[in-house]
Amino acid sequence: MKAVREVLSGTKSLLVGMRLTLREFFKPTITVQYPHQTLPMPERFRGHIELRRDPETGKALCTACKLCERACPSDCILVDGVKLEGEKKKSVTDYHLNFTQCSLCGACIEACPSDAIQFTKRYNLASQTNDYRNMDLVQRFKDQPEKK
């Protein structure tokens, strides 16, 4: 009797598994041929942070106040700046982000009094090197063309 129960239980399990397999087999595929095709990124996606540009002067809005550095719970931001002649505020000279430690929490963005940093929508950061261990955001800012 026990052997018959085990056979019936095994047969039921096999039929349930085959039913699931057949149902999935006839569904349309949703494979995306990356990198030729990409899925749209959600509006709330958070990539690494970047410096924002002053629309009037074209310079970085960051005043090197270091509030973002202090607010970061991951301790992955290092900021430095100098006060240039003729300027009222400091200008950022170094802004380094260790993206491997960043938790993308947004504390740095919330702490910034001049709204000088924002999340990017960049997601394809795969690399064979360790480029994202210490990202120089000032250099990335300079390499970025101005949007008009």
Classify residue 38: in a domain, yes or no: no
Classify residue 71: in a domain, yes or no: yes
| Domain count across the chain | 1
The DSSP call for residue 7 is: H
Q: What is the pLDDT of residues 100-130, one digit of tens each?
A: 899 999 999 999 999 999 999 888 777 777 7
Q: What is the pLDDT of residues 21-48, one digit of tens each?
A: 999 999 988 888 888 988 888 989 988 8
Give the CA-trace dihedral at 8, 11, 16, 19, to 10 degrees: -140
Contact 90, 67 (CB under 8 A): no
Any idea what the CATH number is for the domain that residue 123 is in?
3.30.70.3270
Domain extent at residue 70? 49-143
Rounded CA separation 60/79 (Å): 13
pLDDT at 148: 56
What integer best gives the mean pLDDT of the chain?
A: 89
Per-residue pLDDT band at 72 (split at 50, 70, 90): very high
Contacts of 43 (CB under 8 A, 6+ apart): none
Give me the amino acid identity at 102: C
Classify residue 99: in a domain, yes or no: yes
